[in-house]
Structure 1
Amino acid sequence: MIAPIKQFYFFIALSAGCILSCQSCSSKKEDEAIILPPKPITIEDKQWAFEATPAWVDEFDYTGLPETSKWDYDLGGSGWGNNEKQYYTNSIANVNVGDGKLTITAKKESMSGMAYTSTRLVTRNKLDVLYGRFEVKAKLPTGRGTWPAIWMLPTDRAYGDWPKSGEIDIMEHVGYDQNNVHFSTHTEAYYFKINTQKTSKKLIPDASTAFHLYRVDWTPYAVRGYFDNAMVFEFVNEGTGYKAWPFDKRFHLLLNLAVGGDWGGAQGIDDSIFPQKFEIDYVKYFKMIEK
């Protein structure tokens, strides 16, 4: 009787071990399934159009400071994450409206430890949008050290701090590379500090002597950039989630003229060029027509 009893208990132990082993394997497979990247979702291009009449517009047909119902300011001289050298103010000496245009002026003057002053206008909490078309007609400054931009940032930062929640650069220009104008997007998967940014540039021979139209068409399918209504950039939604495409949340518009910085000051700053002006004829926002 002893041998059969030993065999019985051995069989029970072996069976229990197999069950535990199977459970362990099953648990491991479930854990692995959890960390697998999501399968891409196919995003359909529905050929979205935009309303013919702007839902928001500033044609700067007044005088003084920009209208407070439409614009706010980012103020200060922290370097703004790029080692920029200007202090942003809301002074009429740096930003004013007159003669049918908005002018942002960068000046060589000390303020709060910074060597230059300028302005950074924002529509945050005045105009925050999900999808649509922005058009900005502008004439750019010139000279080594200038760095004007027309761009967009997330209002709510739903996916985290930069670059996780995204950035859209409708127009960027650095004065040491005259007339080469850039359109870019930045996300956690694609941004300049890891050299994966989505970007394009175009030569505009008179970027600083004439007004040109800078535009973005933003839909669930793609961010498309246009200079003078010619497409220069397209970034299509890969359907892989926010790390590549955080552009499904509200964004607002920024207009600024930086001085120096990691890119704008890469070849130094020529103090003899100041003051420099970034001029904007109008800003328009058109809603996307839902489909």
Structure 2
Amino acid sequence: MTIISVKGFSQNYILWWEDEFDGNSVNTSNWSLETGDGCPSLCGWGNNELEWYQPQNAEVNNGRLIITAKEESVGGKDYTSARMKSKSKVEFTYGKVEARIKMPTGQGMWPAFWMLFADPVNGGWPMDGEIDIVELVGHDNDKIYGTIHYGAAWPNNKQYGGSYKLASGTFASSFHTFSVIWDSSKIRWFVDSTLYFTADHADVFPYDWPFNKDFYILLNCAVGGDWPGSPNASTVFPQTMEVKWVRVYKKANMVSVPTIDGPDPVKVDLSSNPMGGSGRIYVESNVNRSATIQITDINGRVIFNHSVQLDSGSWHSLDMENVTPGAYLLTLTGSDFTWTEKIIRK
């Protein structure tokens, strides 16, 4: 069971997941590292990129993820870099998603912090959507972009986005926080808490709004491609994309559960319902108390049982990975309270 302490950025959201890059290597419980150039299914990653992705170009040092783009020949390519994704490990619908990043610079550099659909329910890209939280092209290093991709199959795909330009300095000279707040009605883009772009259902009409299901996170630094162009004699290698942390917050929708003793209710929230294989329950208590989380099927058979210590607020994982889709009963029990909720394993 994983317990994550709460770091609130507003009273309406609670921290759901984070990677602080505080180890000595990429945490493979959170990320998968890709290898290759996208071939044979998507050569050049669909953008005529020039790099070969390899895991060794992503390192964790001194509390930072460092993705390094190098000029070296591997796999028939002249450059290497890294691309990592949280697919099948960290997937979610809605929330505030943010990272603190210092960008690379130079002609041909193309770093990105973005999200893709977890499952292709509408036929794949772009019909199932892409959310680019931040992209930068290295020859224009004081300007970043936020974009959604949607529409019909290529070449009838569509995109809609905005940009933000620094008043002074570059995004390669210091760290900045890049965020989206994503809910059922719209997506908003921020740089250092400054709102600079919003997209909603009306902006994609007459196409469907595909941003209403689970997405996962990607971090990568491409070299070359249709948008940034190729590196040239002015490009200095190696270049690094440094990330201090990535965080996902969920909007609080807590239920207050009364206790027998009265004045100190327990507050409970589910990350999602219906839920996939890795659901979570948030429990907050002003008084330290022990409790048990139990999930039973319709016949009363216990499929999950775990004892927890309640505190000022923590998320607790619900291991539903090998559970058959259907309806179940979740019960949270302490010495002076009981809370039950019907949950759906989708």
Correspondent of 2:136 among 173, 187, 195: 173
**Is the contact between residue 151 and residue 158 of structure 2 (CA under 8 Å) also seen in structure 1?**
no
Cα distance change of structure 1 residues 239 and 109 upon mapping to structure 2, 3 Å threshold: closer
1:90 aligns with: 55
1:60 aligns with: 21
2:225 aligns with: 261
Unaligned runs of 5+ residues in structure 1 are 1-48
Mapping of 1:197-236 within 5 angstroms? 197-204=159-166, 205-236=169-200
Q: In 1, Cα distance between the equivalents of 2:68 and 2:251?
A: 33
Q: Mark the structure with the bigger radius of gyration.
A: 1
Mapping of 1:116-127 within 5 angstroms? 116-127=79-90
Quick one: which amino acid aligns to residue 46 of structure 2? Answer: G
TM-aligned CA deviation for residue 260 of structure 1: 0.2
Q: In 1, Cα distance between the equivalents of 2:15 and 2:248?
A: 5
Q: In 1, Cα distance between the equivalents of 2:203 and 2:244?
A: 37
More RCO (CA 8 Å, sep 6+): 1
Farther off after superposition, 146-155 or 70-79: 70-79
Mapping of 1:129-208 within 5 angstroms? 129-188=92-151, 196-204=158-166, 205-208=169-172
TM-aligned CA deviation for residue 240 of structure 1: 8.2
TM-aligned CA deviation for residue 194 of structure 1: 5.8
Cα distance change of structure 1 residues 192 and 200 upon mapping to structure 2, 3 Å threshold: farther
TM-aligned CA deviation for residue 177 of structure 1: 1.6
Secondary structure at 1:54 match in 2: strand
Cα distance change of structure 1 residues 228 and 245 upon mapping to structure 2, 3 Å threshold: same
Quick one: which amino acid aligns to residue 88 of structure 1? Answer: Y
**Is the contact between residue 99 and residue 178 of structure 2 (CA under 8 Å) also seen in structure 1?**
yes
Farther off after superposition, 269-278 or 174-183: 269-278
Secondary structure at 1:186 match in 2: strand
Give percent identity, aligned residues only: 38
Relative to its length, the structure with more strand (as a share) is 2
Relative to its length, the structure with more helix (as a share) is 1
**Is the contact between residue 186 and residue 192 of structure 1 (CA under 8 Å) also seen in structure 2?**
no
1:246 aligns with: 210
Secondary structure at 1:121 match in 2: strand
1:74 aligns with: 34
Unaligned runs of 5+ residues in structure 2 are 1-9, 39-43, 255-346
Residues 203-222 of structure 1 show CA distances to partners (whole Å, capped at 9, x for unaligned) of 12321010000001000010
Q: In 1, Cα distance between the equivalents of 2:232 and 2:247?
A: 33
Residues 35-58 of structure 1 show CA distances to partners (whole Å, capped at 9, x for unaligned) of xxxxxxxxxxxxxx8854311111
